[in-house]
Structure 1
Amino acid sequence: MSTGTGWVAARVRVVRIFGAEDVRRVVSMPMAIEGMRQAFLDLAAGNFVLPARQVFGDGAVLVMSTYHTPTRTAVVKKISIDLDRDPAIRALLIWTGGEQIVADGTVITTLRTGAVVGLATDLLAPADATRLTLIGTGGQAADQVRAVLAVRPIAETMIAGRNPDRARALAAALTDEFPQVKFISGTNIDRAVAAADIICCATSTSTPLFEADALPERVHVNAIGAFRPTMRELPRSLLASADLVLVDQREAALEESGEIIDAVQSGALSPDSLVELGTALTTHPQPTTGRTVFKSVGLGPQDWAIARLLSQSP
């Protein structure tokens, strides 16, 4: 089996193979964001069959799947997670429909996670936002920045991480990619969030990264790193005081998001106050002068959206 895009003969049908570079070549971030928009509208319309993800080895291995009823297409993704490894997430994706696709699920996971953040940011962040803060320097980090830059006129980005060398290296790499943006690195999170218009959290922490008092009165916060009930990136005080808390899916957030679970169990947040992204896309929330939050734990339709774009490529 080759590592690049190719065709493998089989008795029944042909399989297309997309390596990481192939996925990046075919699917740009703006394309991914628009694909994500349609996928979440379809999710809200009930067009996906979405089984609960299977979890093995105390979260070391996950299997996610979804079926899109109108097109009779399906995606299955197997993920292995090791937080001591870089990248922590490694995955393989299989698409079935008019043809079969096998693709690098690692790059699809970072791309689709960035794209859903771009979609939520476009929906909720101030239209004139120019200052972005990224907390985290792992495998998900760069696509968080790419996604926000695709939807807002960001002029300055602060990258904050525990390891100053990794933060500097990421800032340097993104400077080469986006020379029009000023990138700054550091380790002081409170200083990094104090003047931000948009904040992206992409860490594996089990304790909140900051307190609500450290944030500006008007800010949009994305959080994608905590995917287990024991993990928390956001403080309870932020979720309790935010004008709007957006989630990819209410049921998934209540089962998997440590910060959402904590806030609900403490009584600081009502489950009924959580707004699903697909619903928000149809109701168009009113602009706010306060704080908004988007919490994502990841759903199969996000993988389906990227795989569909791959299936449509020549």
Structure 2
Amino acid sequence: MDVVTLGPDEIRSAVSMSAAIATVRNGFLALHRGEFEMPTRTVLRDGGFLVMSTHHRPTASAMIKTLSLDFDRVPAIAGTVVWSELGHSRQLVADATEVTRIRTGAVTGIATDLLAPPEAKTCTLIGAGAQAADQVRAVHAVRPLTELRIVSRGLERAEALGKSLGAELDLTAVVLTDADEAVRDVDIVCCATTSTKPLFSLESLAGHAHVNAVGAFRPTMRELPDELLAAATVVIDEREAILEESGEIIHALAAGTITEDDLTELGTALAEGVTKRRGRTVFKSVGVAIQDWAIAGLLARICFDRTK
């Protein structure tokens, strides 16, 4: 059996953000066409361990990811992504931390390209943890940014991230402490936290703002206010996963603020366009296995082509 193992540096050097966005986008279109078997992920120890899997019928390929999550350690996410296919005995084993960062960024890039104003150039990032940098890289790939505002409880970490991204992407980055002030008048907001309560108020957002929320992944977590979900066009990654895991959506549905009819899956929006569009837009993601399958498959094609 041919096994290729990839660490963080090898993954990062092999996959550009533009390539990640393209391959994950194709994955969501394939999900819309019904090409995947994708069980809802297994959650153990109240989110301490996650197992995600999917099978792509047309290519007879599959991906299984196992994670442990502890936000008091560095890195907070640790695990492996295993990609295999029926036609070959070869397998790819990749570091799950790096794959998760890239694929989470990629889906934000896809949603931002679909939903944000074409002329958008300012962004507020709330959270400066492991997922934060790739959120900005992905937004910048589809909407070249000139200004970045960062809000985080860890000021030193936020300042270091702002300095790094400012140099890498050639933009102005500033660190603020008040989220409501930080989101005021910006075009795009990215939320990448594990907050259990809304991060800002609806009134603070510009009428045209697009919001990505990728941090909260358990029913007990919430990054967005109900009022925003009620006033915005809401696109989600995958319905079953969202209804099981998204604290924002679960809370808003229970409160009667929104209905399931207000939710459009990303694959549907990409294939058919966005209907009933309102001024503000929201993309809510808890992360689904086809994102990891897409990045792992791209890595496998690169690696196995090289080993021929």
In the superposition, the TM-score normalised over structure 1's length comes to 0.93
Ranges of 4+ aligned residues in structure 1 off by more than 6 Å: none
Match of 1:156 in 2: 147
Match of 2:289 in 1: 300
CA distance in 2, matches of 1:280, 1:60: 32
CA distance in 2, matches of 1:79, 1:289: 37
Q: After alignment, is 86-95 or 74-83 more displaced?
A: 86-95
| Shift in alpha-carbon separation, 1:287–1:121, aligned structure 2, 3 A | farther
The residue identity in structure 1 corresponding to 2:67 is: I
- Tell me the secondary structure at the aligned position of residue 213 of structure 1: helix
Shift of 1:87: 2.6
Match of 1:190 in 2: 180
Shift of 1:286: 6.2
Q: After alignment, is 149-158 or 51-60 more displaced?
A: 51-60
- Tell me the secondary structure at the aligned position of residue 312 of structure 1: helix
Deviations 1:154-210 (A, max 9, x none): 1101111112111101101112211x2111112111111001100000001101001
Unaligned runs of 5+ in 1: 1-12
Picking from 105, 118, 127, the partner of 2:96 is 105
CA distance in 2, matches of 1:230, 1:286: 30
Shift of 1:285: 2.0
Picking from 209, 214, 219, the partner of 1:219 is 209
Unaligned runs of 5+ in 2: none
Deviations 1:121-159 (A, max 9, x none): 000000000101100000000000000000002110111
- Tell me the secondary structure at the aligned position of residue 87 of structure 1: coil
| Shift in alpha-carbon separation, 1:152–1:287, aligned structure 2, 3 A | farther
Match of 1:118 in 2: 109
Q: After alignment, is 163-172 or 32-41 more displaced?
A: 163-172
Match of 2:134 in 1: 143
Is 1:246 equivalent to 2:235 in the alignment? yes
Picking from 69, 77, 90, the partner of 1:81 is 69
State whether residues 40 and 240 of structure 2, in contact with CA within 8 Å, keep that contact through their aligned partners in structure 1.
no
The residue identity in structure 2 corresponding to 1:209 is: L
Deviations 1:11-61 (A, max 9, x none): xx1101111111111110000000011000000001000012111112110
State whether residues 55 and 63 of structure 2, in contact with CA within 8 Å, keep that contact through their aligned partners in structure 1.
yes
Match of 2:39 in 1: 51
Picking from 30, 43, 53, the partner of 1:65 is 53
State whether residues 60 and 82 of structure 1, in contact with CA within 8 Å, keep that contact through their aligned partners in structure 2.
yes
Percent identity of equivalent pairs: 52
The residue identity in structure 1 corresponding to 2:293 is: W
Shift of 1:83: 1.8
